[in-house]
Structure 1
């Protein structure tokens, strides 16, 4: 029997994209899955849209939080009730290629991998692809500290090997912190070079948000990972330089392998 996978999907005001996201799951060539959608008190029609679609497929499970609590708690609520051997993540505006689950699970089983990720493409609000994000074939804890190269929509871990790993609720870099926590348990996470997911980027994303994320990155080094100020400065410098190269000089970044 094929192993099962639980797909963790937090939702907040996602009515514009959630049906596209769910269809990218229901059209997977691998069909032994459950998707657990946790709505974080949306103020739009998300809940109604999701419930209507879920009524057509018992593998789609819907939970509503009683109060707005943030993505970490929404994801953790889903992880708590997940029954799959594998845990995968897919936000309510992102998409998967049809063979994503089948190829990634086969890769993990054949190579006895506990934690994996894949390359992915960036799309705009209309779904038009404009960039490819390549990833290294493997990465360690210390390497990942330099910059988070694991896209949340591509990450998958094996509960049999790692147990359930929950996201911290005291940081906005919850996915980054989770991958670091996993890499404290194992030597490497392993990447697949094939593009198997589509990450949606919004025009409204601003430099102010990037500044806030930079501050969160520093706090992650100091407070969550409890690195010394010197180590924090070392890793933060890598993070900042790579960020500038990716944003301002993408051609040079590709030549240097910074986008990989």
Structure 2
């Protein structure tokens, strides 16, 4: 089974080499990596060409002008030749066994799409130390239908925003589906929802094999009136003609949340333009926006204050004590503790310390690939490939 890894890139030269390397070292070797450069204007295209010269599985598509992530991903979808499609961002990192394990899980579950957990990491402590699916405390695969998917993206505190997922999708289930070029933020959510509305069977996997880089430059952090209006229009197209009561109710709650976001962004735009009348009118129509404004200011100040800590040296031993590489799917009897908990702890340690790691055995080496950064690594009792900079004891 060939897997097409679809990577849209815009000014990602700083992280692109590491992202591509993580794809090309996958244990599932029958793959192609399609990088669509969205008129970056940096060294991105040259970096991809250098990778192409070394590995024929890499392909480059260059956009003549910047058209946004949806248009870039559509170019990748149209060029893909694989039986499965894997979505990836150009600043993230994959565990080397990710595609092999996800494909095996998808076939065992007879799924059209599977999505693993995502371990967050970044330059600041607040960007690290948790996983996307952590609130679900998964110990077994979890099916997700359209109603649950919408609920999870409606601001509920007990559900993670599943629109951030980077799934592996069966090409035959994807079919003629394309991203909406007008949608530049939330484009993944929109296309995944339409995939589910087509009847695709999606499962969440309890294992985190995707390292998701969080930083202030991410486009997903920049809402605006211009970005939200196309997202609401896309929402309304998907909502038209739905009959399932649970899904209709979920879509209504989602739309109400988007309308609230739009009202807030209009208030912010009016304040920036020093339009006192429009600002006061917006607050009069929605008094709750004052609380949202205070929260936004507080979060902005917190982000400015969130600086990289001075990491201190710390020794860490992984492995031993009967630790095993987890099976592709959990056993019939769910494990006692969600696997994401350990990875979240490792991500937090890596943000706070320069780790000197000793990894003992195959299971520890498997886990080691999800440690975002380290000062040194020594591996004993394992024959698999080592992370860059690792040595054997």
Question: Could you say which structure has the greater relative contact order, defined with CA pairs below 8 angstroms and 6 or more residues apart?
Answer: 1
Provide the aligned C-alpha RMSD in A: 3.1
Select 2:147's aligned residue among 133, 142, 147. 142
Secondary structure at 1:130 match in 2:
coil
**Alpha carbons of 1:143 and 1:29: their partners in 2 closer, same or farther (altered >3 Å)?**
same
1:69-84 equivalence runs, <5 A:
69-84=67-82
Q: Which deviates further from its counterpart, 94-103 or 182-191?
A: 182-191
- Counterpart in the other structure of 2:204: 191
Unaligned runs of 5+ in 2: 154-160, 243-247, 261-291, 293-297, 300-393
Give unmatched runs, 5+ long, in structure 1. Answer: 249-260
Match for residue 183 of structure 2 among 148, 157, 171: 171
CA-to-aligned-CA distance 1:54-109 (integer Å, 9 cap, x gap): 21000001111112111111111111111000001111111111111010000111
Is residue 164–residue 189 contact of structure 2 (8 Å, CA) maintained in 1? no
Q: Which of 39, 42, 57 is residue 41 of structure 1 equivalent to? A: 39
| Within-5 A mapping of 1:197-212 | 197-204=210-217, 209-210=222-223
Q: Distance in 2 between matches of 1:227 and 1:145?
A: 16
- For the pair shown, the structure with the greater C-alpha radius of gyration is 2
CA offset digits 1:166-200 (Å, max 9, x no partner):
21212232211111111012264111010010111
Q: Distance in 2 between matches of 1:7 and 1:28?
A: 11
- Secondary structure of the residue aligned to 2:21 is helix
Aligned residues of 2:85 and 2:170 also touching (Cα < 8 A): yes
Q: Are the aligned partners of 2:8 and 2:90 in contact in 1 as well (CA < 8 Å)?
A: yes
| Alignment check: 8 A CA contact 1:218 1:232 kept | no
Distance 1:138 1:210, change over 3 A: farther
1:221 aligns with 2:226: no
Report the Cα distance in structure 2 between the residues aligned to 1:207 and 1:192, rounded to whole angstroms. Answer: 24
Match of 2:54, SS? coil
Q: Evaluate the alpha carbon distance shift between residue 45 and residue 205 of structure 1 in structure 2; reply closer, same or farther with a 3 A threshold.
A: closer
After superposition, the C-alpha distances for 1:121-142 in whole angstroms (9 at most, x for unaligned) are 1111489843211167121111
Q: Does residue 174 of structure 2 align to residue 155 of structure 1?
A: no
1:59–1:176 CA distance, 2 compared to 1 (3 A): same
Q: Which moved more, 1:195-204 or 1:217-226?
A: 217-226
- Paired residues, number: 241
Greater mean deviation of Cα atoms: 99-108 or 222-231? 222-231
Q: 1:105 to 1:208 in 2, by over 3 A?
A: closer
Query: Where does residue 235 of structure 1 map in the other structure?
Result: 254
Distance in 1 (alpha carbons) for counterparts of 2:221 and 2:60: 33
How does the TM-score come out when normalised to structure 1? 0.81
The 1-side partners of 2:216 and 2:183 are apart by 24
Distance 1:202 1:208 in 2: 9
Alignment match, 1:255 = none
Distance of aligned partners of 1:158 and 1:204 in 2 relative to their CA distance in 1, 3 Å threshold? closer
Alpha-carbon distance between aligned partners in 2 of 1:42 and 1:130, rounded to the nearest angstrom: 31
| Distance (Å, rounded) in 1 between the aligned partners of 2:30 and 2:176 | 19
Q: What is the CA–CA distance in structure 1 between the aligned matches of 2:75 and 2:49, rounded to whole Å? A: 18
- After TM superposition, give the deviation of residue 31 of structure 1 in Å: 0.8
Q: C-alpha displacement at 1:237, in angstroms?
A: 5.5
d(CA) in 1 for partners of 2:213, 2:224? 20
